[in-house]
């Protein structure tokens, strides 16, 4: 993105520079040419349609170019490509906590391989911070109580500064870190250096520890919605709205279950506000995500396992096929 942002910025500088030059040349020339002289009176001229059209149409065209170009760069910079590597970021006074979806945890340091799209799913556990990597021309506010996203694709190995760019208290200026971009082989070696297992596995553990699994059963017979294949898909709500099950939606469901209740389910889920840390929330979301990881395959197999229950009541058979589909999604 850095090249795109720079090109647009240089274009703006050139356009502004040329306009400034044009205006000042005209000011100086007219000041000399039409200076006050004894006995000479100014002649009044009323309007000129060609002139007015010229200075309306040309700037309009230039501004339209700036707008379209800016919009393209903006949307590109805001839209993480599919199948980016995911890193969860938790900001706090005054440090950055980063967790790879593979399970590696880091503080004030983020190791990434060169040439890979990396999506950051960021939140704050206290005040507003801002994740700023000047070398990547990337800056995104990090807010408490919700997720904001950013992404980058590092093209050169090296170590790049990470700053907090939103005044967040006494040691705001010390809230800095490094993005370490490594060659793929080097990165693989770094990745192999010990982990507590994938984030989704931590999330699965949390899911059963908090008792979520008692209601959100994968056989569709629980008191809460079955979460298989939910992530990334539209969800029908009790109040008639439809929302997409993204990170922010899952988060809201855990913190404030009443606000966007799924159609056909009773308002019985308690809030987990204050009971789960930001790290646990991230793990839970990674887990819910992993339930949709194999895409349409999971949907099909879970749909297939629901039908026999309704039709024949052969729950043992259904359980068996459910376990099989669980296995299938884990392997993938
Ligand atoms: Cu965090 Cu400034």
- For ligand 1, the distance from its centroid to the CA atom of residue 5, given in whole angstroms, is 24
Could you identify the atom of ligand 1 that is nearest to the CA of residue 167? 2
- In this structure, the answer to whether residues 177 and 90 fall within a common structural domain is yes
The verdict on 100 and 173 lying in the same domain is yes
Contact in structure between 210 and 276 (CB atoms under 8 Å)? yes
- The stretch 88-106 carries a mean pLDDT of 90
For 221, residues 6+ apart whose C-beta sits below 8 A from its C-beta are 309, 315
Position 203 in a domain: yes
Q: How far apart are CA 199 and CA 287, in angstroms?
A: 7
241 found inside a domain: yes
Range name among 122-136, 165-179, 265-279 with the lowest pLDDT average: 265-279
Domain boundary among 147, 170, 191: 191
Q: Which helix (H) or strand (E) holds 17?
A: helix 2-33
CA 107 to chain centre: 20
Per-residue confidence band for 17, with pLDDT thresholds at 50, 70 and 90: very high
Atom of ligand 1 at shortest distance to CA of 168?
2
d(CA 78, CA 323): 38
CA angle 144, 246, 328 (to 5 degrees): 130
Asked if residue 177 and residue 241 are part of one domain, the reply reads: no
71 in a structural domain = no
For the chain, the average pLDDT equals: 83
**279 and 262 in a common domain:** yes
Ligand 1: which residue has its CA nearest to atom 1? 129
* Together in a domain, 160 and 209: no
Question: Does residue 328 lie in a domain region?
Answer: no
Query: What is the DSSP secondary structure assignment for residue 1, as one 8-state letter?
Result: -
Cβ atoms within 10 Å of 269's Cβ, excluding its own: 20
180 CA from centroid of ligand 1 (Å)? 20
* CATH code (residue 144): 2.60.40.420
- Domain-embedded: residue 59: no
Number of domains the chain contains = 2
* Same domain as 164, residue 218: no
Output the CA 285–ligand 1 centroid distance in Å.
25
- Is the four-CA dihedral 188, 331, 251, 149 of positive or negative sign? positive
- In ligand 1, the atom with minimum distance to the C-alpha of 94 is 1
Q: Which atom of ligand 1 is nearest to the CA of 165?
A: 2
Whether residue 101 is found in the same domain as residue 167? yes
Q: Is the pTM of this model over 0.85?
A: no
Q: How many whole angstroms separate alpha carbon 221 and alpha carbon 277?
A: 29
DSSP collapsed to 3 states, 129-178? EEEEEHHHCEEEEECECCCEEEEEECCCCEEEEEEECCCCCCCHHHCCEE
Residues in contact with ligand 1 by the CB-under-6-Å rule are 91, 94, 129, 164, 166-168, 172, 175
| Ligand 1 centroid – CA 157 distance (Å) | 26
Closest CA to 193 of 111, 117, 119, 91: 111
Examine residue 135 and state whether it is found in any structural domain, yes or no. Answer: yes
Taking each helix axis as running N to C, give the angle between helix 49-78 and helix 2-33, from 0 to 180 degrees, rounded to the nearest 10.
Answer: 160
pLDDT above 80 (res 112): yes
Residue 289 lies in a domain: yes
**Residue 321 pLDDT:** 43
CA-closest candidate to residue 332, choices 286, 302, 290: 290
Nearest atom of ligand 1 to the alpha carbon of 93: 1
- Write down which residue in 170, 191, 212 finishes a domain: 191
Same domain for 285 and 222 = yes
How far is the CA of 72 from the CAs of 8, 13, 68, 110, 325, in angstroms? 11, 19, 6, 28, 41
Are both 220 and 278 inside the same structural domain? yes
If pLDDT is split at 50, 70 and 90, which confidence band does 262 have?
Answer: confident
Q: Which domain holds residue 281?
A: 199-293
| Pairing of β 95-100 and β 129-133 | unpaired
Nearest to 190 by CA among 95, 133, 105: 105
Give the Cβ contact number of residue 110 at 10 Å.
23
pLDDT in tens, 179-228: 999 999 888 888 887 677 788 888 888 888 888 878 888 777 778 888 88
Q: What is the pLDDT of residues 273-320, one digit of tens each?
A: 888 888 888 888 888 888 887 543 333 333 333 333 333 333 444 444
Q: How far apart are CA 127 and CA 117, in angstroms?
A: 28
How close is the Cα of 189 to the center of ligand 1, in Å?
A: 32
Residue 169 CA to ligand 1 center (angstroms) comes to 7
Residue pLDDT, tens place only, 51-83: 999 999 999 999 999 999 999 999 998 898 988
**What number of residues does the chain have?**
332
Q: Which of 136, 168, 191 is the last residue of a domain?
A: 191
Amino acid 194: pLDDT: 67
Residues 148 and 230 in one domain: no
Residue 268 lies in a domain: yes
At residue 325, the pLDDT reads 43
Spatial strand order in the sheet of 105-107: 105-107, 95-100, 85-92, 117-124, 148-153
Distance 284 CA to ligand 1 centre (A): 26
The CATH number given to whatever domain includes residue 274 is: 1.10.760.10
Q: What pLDDT shows up at residue 294?
A: 59
Query: At residue 97, does pLDDT exceed 70?
Result: yes
Tell me, what's the pLDDT at 186?
87
How confident is the model at residue 225, as a pLDDT? 84
């Amino acid at each position: 993105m850095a090249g795109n942002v720079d090109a647009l910025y240089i274009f703006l500088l050139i356009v502004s520079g040329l306009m400034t030059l044009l205006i000042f040349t005209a000011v100086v020339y007219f000041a000399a040419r039409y200076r006050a002289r004894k006995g000479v009176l100014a002649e009044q001229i009323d309007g000129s349609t060609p002139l007015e059209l010229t200075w309306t149409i040309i700037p309009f065209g230039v501004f339209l170019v700036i707008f379209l170009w800016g919009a393209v760069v903006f949307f590109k910079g805001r839209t993480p490509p599919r199948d980016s590597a995911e890193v969860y970021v938790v900001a706090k006074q005054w440090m950055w906590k980063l967790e790879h979806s593979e399970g590696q945890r880091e503080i004030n340091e983020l190791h990434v391989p060169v040439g890979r799209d990396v999506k950051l799913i960021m939140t704050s556990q206290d005040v507003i911070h801002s994740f700023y990597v000047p070398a990547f021309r990337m800056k995104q506010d990090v807010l408490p109580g919700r997720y904001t996203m950013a992404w980058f694709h590092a093209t050169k190995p090296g170590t790049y500064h990470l700053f907090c760019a939103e005044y967040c208290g006494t040691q705001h200026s010390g809230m800095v870190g490094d993005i370490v971009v490594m060659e793929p082989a080097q990165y693989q070696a770094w990745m192999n250096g010990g982990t507590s297992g994938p984030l989704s596995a931590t999330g699965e553990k949390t899911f059963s520890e908090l008792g979520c699994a008692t209601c959100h059963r994968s056989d569709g017979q629980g008191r809460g919605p079955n979460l298989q294949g939910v992530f990334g898909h539209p969800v029908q709500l009790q109040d008639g709205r439809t929302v997409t099950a993204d990170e922010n939606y899952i988060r809201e469901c855990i913190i404030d279950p009443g606000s966007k209740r799924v159609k056909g389910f009773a308002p019985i889920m308690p809030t987990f506000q204050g009971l789960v840390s930001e790290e646990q929330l991230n793990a839970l979301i990674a887990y819910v995500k992993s339930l949709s990881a194999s895409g349409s395959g999971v949907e099909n197999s879970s749909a297939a396992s629901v039908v026999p229950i309704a039709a024949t009541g052969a729950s043992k058979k259904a359980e068996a096929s459910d376990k099989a589909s669980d296995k299938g999604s884990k392997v993938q």
